[in-house]
Chain A
Amino acid sequence: MRRIVVLLIALSLGMVGMGGVIAQEEQVLVVGLSEDYHSLDPSRAYEPGGSLVHHSVYDTLVTFPSDSVSEIIPNLAESWDISEDGMVYTFTLRDDVTFSNGDPLTAEDVVFSFNRMKNLKDNPSFLADTIASVEAPDDLTVVLTLTQPDAAILAKLIFDAFSILNADVVREQGGTDAEDAAETDTAEDWLMNNSAGTGPYMVANYEPTVQTVLVRNPNYWGEPAFFDRIIIQNLPETSTQKLALEAGDIDIAMDVIADQVASFEANPDIEVFSTQSDTLIWLLMNADPEIGGPVSDPLVQRAIRYALNYEELRFLSGEGANNPASMVPIGFAGALDPSEGFAQDLDKARALLEEAGYADGFTIDLEYPDFNYIGTEFGIVAQKVQADLAQIGITANLVPQEFQVSLDLYRNGEQGFSLWLWNPDYYDTLDYVEFLPSGVVGNRTNWTDENADPAILELRDAVKTELDPAVRAELFGEIQRWLQEYGPYAPLFQPGVHFAYRSDLQGFAYNGQWRVDLTALSR
């Protein structure tokens, strides 16, 4: 009863804060974002935009430092042990953490949150695939047992989907972590306008496609954040975000494209942050001769890799972009140095084509989803590829497709030659095993155990269960070099990612996982 009263008071405080008149001393942060999420239920969290909310409202067991993804540091768990065989992880929780309604954090909340996330069978549930069970032997200890050794599990736990929710509150609102949660859980509705987390902020209000409002958590267990209120406003067009930022109506623009950077930099009231993103833009060449036609031939695949002008592709993508050497983006442990990558060599490309029997070139359809992914206009990239290939005699007919249609064809493995992107599901190089035979992408390229070279299969199986970082790096190196020779892919570039914010904002830091930590900002 007392908990409910406290919760109600906290909520009404939030609502009063929202009422008609705004106090002069209140510090408000306004963020411009092209909204990509429809739910504020963290156990279903999957979209990058949603991280702005979840990272401010909920906490995870472990986390990354504010500006990198290469180190894992304690968060709600102050320490952990890993068993010899890598199958059991034992976490010890902090004893001073409270939820926004005052309830103390216990291991039971962790168990509930993890099980709920797994059993909801929603978009992020695959991250829990390697988790066999999670138990709470006592109030401050969590034991995680895996189905197989998984070097990436700690990185996965940082995902919003593994946010820790207040089990009691969520249960009261119809939430459940039982096996059939996918059908029986009804807490999502409540979670859309409320929150049950341990973070510095709480959800005050969510108006889909308009704005999301967060207010300060009065019971926060750590250092209070600077801003009293955060408003995340949906501005779907990058040009509108730019206008709003320039006029001072928003403090941060989250969707800046490379071509806007120069103009922002010339503006003394605005700061720009540019860095390379983890998105990989690449060409798919179907390994099935019936679907891929000429591009199913490894010689042709290599010829295409030599035909592309990587420098111009990078220039096209703008500030912060880079060319990865192979199918592991720069920044991931074990990624090859960019100097090992391809450089355009038209003579070599033509020679390879001739060797493959296409001395006069050939004609092929280049399919792609006709959309703009944070500044990378797929139509523009496709046109560039078309121009490059024309130089070695390959006539690529551009076939732009409606995004959903293209996605469907791609997932069904029906595209012969297409342009796509890949975002890491979690921050470990293991994610890129999906490009190997029978992986998620491998299947879409019709590259499976049946038609793949045993050498790559061996490498793949070895790296999946390897835990030693040095050995892993070596294995990944070998895999990447193998892909450079014989793989059915051509890595084009890693686009840059850019943010712009008003100069009076302090504390800006970029992290690939949650992009911008709003709780660390001040004025």
Chain B
Amino acid sequence: MIARLNASPINWRLIRVRAGQNPLMVVGVIVCVVWIGVSLFAEQIAPYDPLAQDIMARLQGPSDAHWFGTDQLGRDVLSRVLYGGRTSLPAGLLVIASATVIGTIFGAIGGYVGGLWDELLMRFTEVFMAFPIIILAMAIAAALGPSVNNAIIAMTVVWWPNYARIIRSLVISVKSNDYVESAHAIGASPTRILFRTILPNCVAPALVMATLDVGNAILIFAGLSFLGLGPEPSSPEWGRMVSDGIDHYDQWWLSTFPGLAILTVVMALNFIGDGLRDLSDPRTRKKLG
């Protein structure tokens, strides 16, 4: 009970009221829902098989038969864009989810326990953050082979330190709050305090950051593809499609449409993230209120 004195940072009813005052966030949610729907029902919506090649019809511009044109192997770009979310979206989510979990574990321990463990954690995360991701990603790709899974691994390895540090600093700032002291005084065990009291208060800022980072992850995938480290070439992944199309900029439809897909998804996620921040921050809530 006492642990809940400071109310849960996200009040759902309030959010629905606020939605009207925050149209960008609503747009963001709608766009995300649409893309999730498209990815789930791609089979029903897409006019062609995304892998079906038609060499003699390659590199043709948008037409009645192919609304978004065809690519270097004659595959329908529209269908590939529709299927593309199936790889890009879960990949981005997975990276951030893994990074968050790993980061939280380390960050919580470091922040809560403090002292030597904390110092070690800070140094350890610094090594990872300072290390150039290019070299790390290329090494992983070389060692394990270029593929979506390995790209996810590479990105997770580089990303979790961010979360570790955020969670750590959040834990530290929450740690010194009164209700934590009271919990101590009552005799609650450290683990209990950590899980019941401290961590729930870290959820909101971490969630905001995570939402924004999913977009980032999708962008970095595209970048890794450009460097040749991404998923298998035949798979319709947006980042891969954009980078494959760079050399063919006269055939502008190759890069533009998947690029727009990435743009819309990431912007939507950004709107949502910003909106969440506005809603969860008690000070801005007060001003709204």
Contacts and interface: CB of A to CB of B under 8 A. Distances in A.
Direct contact of A and B (CB under 8 A): yes
Contact of B248 (A237, A259, A402, A404): A259
A390 to B, nearest CB: 10
26 contacts: A239-B246, A239-B249, A257-B247, A259-B251, A260-B247, A262-B250, A309-B55, A312-B55, A312-B56, A316-B58, A316-B73, A370-B233, A372-B247, A377-B244, A380-B73, A380-B233, A382-B233, A383-B233, A383-B234, A384-B73, A398-B232, A400-B146, A401-B145, A402-B138, A402-B146, A405-B142
Nearest to B71: A380
Contacts of B146: 370, 400-402
A13 interface: no
B72 A377 contact: yes
Contacts of A401: 145-146
B53 interface: yes
A102 interface: no
Contact of A259 (B53, B55, B72, B145): B72
Interface in B222-245: 228, 232-234, 244
Contacts of A312: 55-56
Contacts of B248: 259-260
- B interface, over-half SS: loop
Given A316-B58, A380-B72, A398 B233 contact: yes
B59 interface: yes
Given A315-B56, A316-B55, 12 more contacts: A237-B247, A239-B247, A259-B72, A262-B250, A263-B250, A316-B72, A370-B146, A370-B228, A377-B244, A398-B233, A400-B146, A402-B146
Please indicate which of the listed interface residues A237, A238, A400, A404 has the most CB atoms of chain B within 10 Å of its own CB: A400
A316 B53 CA distance: 11
A182 interface: no
Contacts of A398: 232-234
A399 interface: yes
Interface of A: 237-239, 242, 257, 259-260, 262-263, 309, 312, 315-316, 370-372, 377, 379-380, 382-384, 386-387, 398-402, 404-405
A379 B246 contact: no
B264 to A, nearest CB: 24
Nearest to A379: B233
Interface of B: 53, 55-56, 58-59, 72-73, 138, 141-142, 145-146, 228, 232-234, 244, 246-251
B69 to A, nearest CB: 13
A98 to B, nearest CB: 45
Contacts of B247: 237-239, 257, 259-260, 372
Contacts of A316: 55, 58, 72-73
Contacts of A309: 55
Contacts of A263: 250
A262 B251 CA distance: 11
B137 to A, nearest CB: 11
Nearest to A313: B55
A260 B251 CA distance: 9
A371 B232 CA distance: 13
Nearest to B147: A400
Contacts of A386: 234
A401 B232 CA distance: 10
A372 B243 CA distance: 12
B181 to A, nearest CB: 54
A259 B228 contact: no
A379 B73 CA distance: 11
B53 A399 contact: no
Nearest to A404: B142
Nearest to A405: B142
A382 B146 CA distance: 15
Nearest to B59: A259
Nearest to A314: B55
A371 B73 contact: no
A74 B23 CA distance: 79
B228 A260 contact: no
Contacts of A387: 53
Nearest to B231: A400
Contacts of A405: 142
A371 B250 CA distance: 21
A370 B229 CA distance: 9
B76 to A, nearest CB: 15
A326 B73 CA distance: 25
A382 to B, nearest CB: 7
A399 B144 CA distance: 11
